[in-house]
Chains A and B, each alone.
Chain A
Amino acid sequence: MSAEIKAHPGMEKPPTTSVGVLGWLHQNLFSSLLNSVLTLISAGILYLLGRGLVKWALTEARWGVITSNIKVLAWGRYPNEEAWRLGISLLIILAMGLLTWALRRGSLTQNARRALLTVWVLSPVAIVILIHGITLPTIATITNNLGYYIYRPELMPLLGEAWRASAALLVLAFVAGLTCGSVSKRTERLLSLAPLLALFLFTLPLGLLANGSLFGFDLPRLLPQTFALLVGFFSGMTVGRALTSIAAIRWLRIGSWVAVLPGLLILLTTFDVGVESVAPVEVLQIIEPNIWSGMMLTILLAVVSIVASFPIGVLLALGRRSSLPVVKGFSVLFIEVVRGVPLITILFMAQVMLPLFLPLELTVDRVIRAMVGMTLFTAAYLAEIVRGGLQAVRNEQVEAARALGLSEMLVTGLIVLPQALRAVIPPIMGQFVSIFKDTTLVTIVGLLDLLAVGQSVIKQREFLGAVREVYLFAGVFYFVISYAMSVASRRLERQLGVTEES
């Protein structure tokens, strides 16, 4: 065994229990007469304290309040028939956690790391789509929405949305131009025009249908489109030419094509002309945030505020050390103001005050408001923690990095931040555990998190007064997750520490 440990320095040490249960008992509880007496006395006290609880839990407690309401506690008002989407989302979160847990940074190839990073970036998007639902345009929607301004004069009253067609055309033409300008082969250049051509071929039949013939088109109505097309294409081509020499141009091209598709979908999906046959299709039923509730809301609030606050916090910490007065001033102001206000006040402001300032037409969902409030609050605290870590990185490190000719950005990204963040993992995780538990505060502003749902189901006639059961259940839930988070944090510390030493 010890040979193996030497061979793999990153491997865990064998657990102490492997010495055997009896050995462990002897070593830890009954190693001397005094210790044996102390052990017995402690056991007696524990028994006296725990007896009542165990007896209550086994005989008196009405656990029916949990078992019959388990679905409500888990996802509250989320439709039962759509709950599988939450299950898949949870699986994605767990899989990502396990994957990151199992894989060590050092053991990965460059490509595997890139793949892992991509999956990490994509999984939140997938989860949001799964939980919230999505409407997608059909081919008919896209064709119609792009062709509509050009071909459907009878829909003129809806022209308020026609800018979307121009915008979509501009974006598409820009990417086509970019490709066209940066590739060298003639066939490739022609190929880059294919999407534009396809678009017009798709929209053409619609125009024919709407006008009865090809000759009914109105030139003035075509002008914005023509303009968008030309401006997009030639600006794209100029940019493409200028960037031809850059090594990453291939990735830039691929990336821009990948990015333009969802962009087009967003531009054209929300563009509902009110004609049923070309309306976007609800692929996954949209479930508005205001009915998210129960454990899922608790977990979502925590995950969103943790994931979103981390980059904001790091930026604020860097901003606070910046030499630019405006950046520094803003960071200091934000951090100090937010830290000077209790979380519950921020939540109340978001729920009660914010709507008074916003125009009546603009309503931000209450759950989203709570998420933003909690994210900003966590970010301010994280910023101070990260700043502490930044101060712990010795100045020689920065000087050495500069001496190697690294740019300011690379010094921060490759030398300072990794060391600073590693030093502050325990307080960061402490902050995350704390914000996870603080999600219960949303109960006070009327959101139905696990605690609020628990308080609501004990108002059912058959479970009136089953307060202790529900609170114990919630307590165990919060403990299990908090404990898992702190175990993960210790594991991360160990991993990073070991990698650094070897």
Chain B
Amino acid sequence: MSRKFTLFLVATLILVLALSACQPAEPEVREVKVVETQEVRVVETQEVQVNVPVELQMESERLAAIKANGVLRCGVNSGVPGFGFLNEEGDFVGFDVDFCRALATAIFNNPDAVEFRPLTAAERFTALQTNEIDVLIRNTTWTFTRDVELGTDFGPTTFYDGQGMMVRRDSGFGSLNDMDGATVCVLSGTTTELNLADAFASRGISYTPLVFDKSDETAAAYDQGRCDGLTSDKSQLAGLKTTLSDPAAHLILPETMSKEPLGPVWAHGDQQWGDMVRWVVNGLMIAEEKGITAANVAEKAAGAPEDPEVARLLGLEGEYGQLLGLDPDFMVNVISAVGNYGEIYERHLGPDGTDIPREGSFNALASDGGLIYPQPWR
């Protein structure tokens, strides 16, 4: 037994020694090697040290993490017509979704480099606070408490929503003031219900609320004629209108009973990241002002634009991309992938989409009397 045992011991030792033996035999050679290795590493470290402060100025930590990850994590809604839902291929599509894709294109030049996280209203801010998502673009209204108390920051408003009222054309109602004594279908427990009460009280007229738990039920009750008016956010009303048995027989009154500015949201603590989100959205709006579309952006970028702002936007002048930690021509990529703000609106909320009229609304460009007023790119 002991003989065999010794045999194994020797065999094992031979294995180990085979790898380590003669190690001190050529000490000079080894020392030289070690010195070389150290030298190389020192040089590398110095380079990194030189780079770090510069990069900290230019590039946000989150952007660096996103680049390392290879995807942008974007919190979206999975069930609002026109804004975010699944198409027949199982891909997310919609107005909000396209802003996620725009950001991904700015970073990776790939509109599909997004990890969409469908979120409910209850968990969306937790998801931001716990770093589960990089940016939240999910019909989120910019309010005092959300901005200040929840530790989040809001980007430029991409859609000005507000509570509206839908009535039958043959009812003769032309404005809210005509609706004295009307019955109104409304969703229970929402700010919608409170806004409705305020709107009627301030006009000194009365109404009877008919309250429901689900928006589908509310619309069905209105369709069956159980109430004279249906109130909800205008973006929702437009979607609900198409589900009615005769959509053409209804109209949405011009009054807006509340302010619901919707836009991208990110967590406090990384201003550079916020800057990037803000300026990609702004860039999309400027592109519409300047008539740059997905179709003509490549041509404009190839030529020499006369308008200096267009040249700056497309990265032909200045170092705007570098300052955000992005490619110089990132807006060219973004616009050719998703189009300008107007094209995104048209695709999802235009007549071929959910059909929310843009002309004359807050969502028209400032030059057309709306509130879409991007800051100058200089």
Q: Indicate if the CB atoms of B19 and A217 lie closer than 8 Å.
A: yes
Whether B248 is near chain A, meaning CB under 8 Å from some CB there, is: no
Contacts of B87 in A (CB 8 A): 72, 460
Contacting pair A356 B37 (CB below 8 A): no
A200 to B120, CA, bound (A): 55
- The segment out of B129-137, B188-196, B365-373 that lies at the interface is B129-137
Q: Of A77, A352, A358, A459, which is within 8 A of B123 by CB?
A: A352
Contact A217 B20 (CB under 8 A): yes
Chain A residues whose C-beta falls within 8 Å of the C-beta of B78 in the assembled complex? 446, 448, 452, 455-456
Inter-chain contact B123/A351, CB cutoff 8 Å: yes
> Nearest A residue to B80 by beta-carbon distance?
A459
Contact across chains for A219 and B354 when beta carbons are under 8 A apart:
no
Determine if A445 is an interface residue (Cβ-Cβ < 8 Å).
yes
B-chain residues with CB within 8 Å of residue A21 when the two chains form the complex = none
- The stretch that binds A, out of B25-33, B148-156, B319-327, is B25-33
**B82, B216, B219 — most chain A CB neighbours (10 Å):** B216
Is B99 positioned at the interface, with any CB of A under 8 Å from its CB? no
Contact with A along B63-97 (1 / 0, CB 8 A): 00000000000000011111001111111000000
Assuming the A-B contacts A352-B126, A464-B81, are A456 and B86 also in contact, with contact meaning beta carbons closer than 8 angstroms in the complex? Answer: yes
Instruction: Confirm or deny: A69 has a beta carbon within 8 angstroms of a beta carbon on chain B.
Output: yes
In the complex where A189-B8, A446-B123 touch, is A461 in contact with B118 (Cβ < 8 A)? no
Contacts of B1-46 to chain A: CB distance below 8 A: 4, 8, 11-12, 15-16, 18-20, 22-23, 25-26, 29-30, 33-34, 37, 41
Q: Which of A87-95, A226-234, A417-425 contacts B (4 or more CB under 8 A)?
A: A226-234
C-alpha spacing A186/B34, complex, angstroms? 44
Of B16, B29, B216, B352, most A-chain CB atoms within 10 Å = B16
**Chain B CB within 8 A of A355 CB:** yes
- Nearest-CB residue, chain B, relative to A237: B8
Interface residues as binary, B345-356 with A (CB distance below 8 Å gives 1, 0 otherwise): 000000011100
- Do B88 and A68 touch across chains, with their CB atoms under 8 A apart? yes
Q: Say yes or no: A448 contacts B243, CB within 8 Å.
A: no
Q: Measured between alpha carbons, how far is A77 from B85 in the docked complex, in Å?
A: 12
- Residue from A153, A229, A291, A360 in contact with B16 in the complex, judged by beta carbons closer than 8 Å: A229
- B residues within 8 A CB of A291? 115
Given the interface pairs A72-B90, A78-B90, A230-B12, the reply to whether A444 lies near B85 with Cβ below 8 Å is no
Q: Which chain A residues in 8-41 approach chain B with CB under 8 Å? A: none
Q: Counting CB contacts under 8 A, is B239 at the interface?
A: yes
Contact A222-B16, Cβ < 8 Å, known A352-B123, A355-B132: yes
Q: Which residue on chain B has the smallest CB distance to residue A357?
A: B130
A356 touches B18 (CB 8 A): no
Number of residues from B at the complex interface, CB < 8 A: 53
A494 to B78, CA, bound (A): 45
Which of A197, A219, A461 is in CB contact (< 8 Å) with B353?
A: A461
Contact yes or no, B86 A453, CB < 8 A:
yes
Residues from chain A with Cβ under 8 Å of B131 in the complex: 360, 363
A69, B8: Cβ atoms under 8 Å?
A: no
Query: Is B122's CB under 8 angstroms from A455's CB?
Result: no
Residues on B with beta carbons closer than 8 Å to the beta carbon of A157: 41
List of A residues within 8 angstroms of B91 by Cβ: 77
CB distance from A150 to the nearest CB of B (A): 7
**Closest B residue, CB atoms, query A203:** B19
Residue of A nearest to B44 (CB): A157
**Interface assignment of B171: CB less than 8 Å from any CB of chain A:** no
A109 CB–B CB distance under 8 Å: no
**How far does the alpha carbon of A153 sit from the alpha carbon of B31 in the complex, in Å?**
13
Q: Is A478 positioned at the interface, with any CB of B under 8 Å from its CB?
A: no
Q: What is the bound-complex CA distance between A219 and B15, given in angstroms?
A: 13
Q: Are A464 and B242 in contact (CB under 8 A)?
A: yes
Determine if A200 and B22 form an interchain contact, defined as CB atoms under 8 angstroms apart.
no
Whether A456 contacts B79 by the Cβ 8 Å rule is: yes
**Which one of B8, B37, B82, B243 lies within 8 Å of A465 (CB-CB)?**
B243
Would you call B58 an interface residue if the criterion is a C-beta within 8 Å of the partner chain's C-beta atoms? no
Q: How far is the CB of B32 from chain A (nearest CB, A)?
A: 11
* Interchain CB contact under 8 A, B86 and A217: no
Does A251 touch B at the CB level, under 8 Å? no
B130–A356 CB distance below 8 A: yes
Judge whether A77 and B86 touch: CB under 8 Å: yes
Cα distance, A71 to B90, chains bound together (Å):
8
The answer on a CB contact under 8 Å between A80 and B120 is: no
- Tell whether A255 is near chain B: CB-to-CB under 8 Å: no
Q: Report A441-480 residues with CB < 8 Å from chain B CB.
A: 444-448, 452-453, 455-457, 459-461, 464-465, 467
Closest residue of chain B to A230 (Cβ to Cβ) is B12
B197 on interface, CB distance cutoff 8 Å:
no
A353 CB, min distance to chain B CBs, angstroms:
8
Cα A413 to Cα B342 in complex, Å, equals 70
Asked whether B130 lies within 8 Å of A457 as measured between CB atoms, the reply is no
Indicate if A252 sits at the interface (CB-CB under 8 A): no
Q: Is the CB of A196 within 8 A of B19?
A: no
Q: What are the 3 closest A-B residue pairs judged by CB atoms, nearest first?
A: A465-B243, A355-B130, A459-B85
Could you give 10 example pairs across A and B, Cβ below 8 Å?
A: A71-B88, A196-B15, A219-B23, A225-B16, A291-B115, A356-B129, A366-B132, A461-B242, A461-B354, A465-B242
Q: Which residues does B use to contact A, with CB under 8 Å?
A: 4, 8, 11-12, 15-16, 18-20, 22-23, 25-26, 29-30, 33-34, 37, 41, 78-82, 85-91, 115-120, 122-123, 126-127, 129-132, 216, 219, 239, 242-243, 352-354
Known: A457-B85, A459-B81; 8 extra A-B contacts, CB below 8 A, are A72-B88, A180-B8, A189-B4, A217-B23, A229-B16, A460-B85, A460-B88, A467-B216
